[in-house]
A = this chain, B = another copy of it.
Amino acid sequence: MFADCTPGPTPIRIGDKWTARIIACLHEGPRRFSELQVPLHMVSPKVLTESLRAMARDGLLTRTAYPEIPPRVEYELTVLGRSLLEPMAAACAWSREHLGEVLGARAAHESRTSA
């Protein structure tokens, strides 16, 4: 759903730098911390922990610790978190269709001002 929506200088942003990417990673179901680190390979464990904590605080996802050995912790979108998928899809569709135009306008502006 969001695979071809690469992050970039899009004017539409969902949450902080990682929020939308975490939501995209969780939209098919619960994931463990290590399962989020793989697709989000640029994120440090510290930043991922902070992002997940902020999203849990805002009611966008839940953190469930299962009393197993070794312990298992899963993150899952709440109904509220899932409700962001729709505006995210709209933002993603916009970027797919128009981001090239923004970058083109910027490049044209650069070449005008540096000439």
| Chain A contacts to B: CB under 8 angstroms | 11-15, 19, 56-60, 80, 83-84, 86-87, 90-91, 93-94, 97-98, 101-102, 104-106, 109
A104 near B11: Cβ-Cβ < 8 Å: no
Contact of A91 among B80, B87, B106 (CB under 8 A): B87
CB distance from A3 to the nearest CB of B (A): 19
A59 and B12 contact, Cβ closer than 8 Å, known pairs A84-B94, A90-B90:
no
A91 and B59 contact, Cβ closer than 8 Å, known pairs A80-B102, A101-B80:
no
Contact of A94 among B59, B87, B97, B105 (CB under 8 A): B87
A52 vs B87: C-alpha distance when bound (angstroms): 25
A101 vs B60: C-alpha distance when bound (angstroms): 10
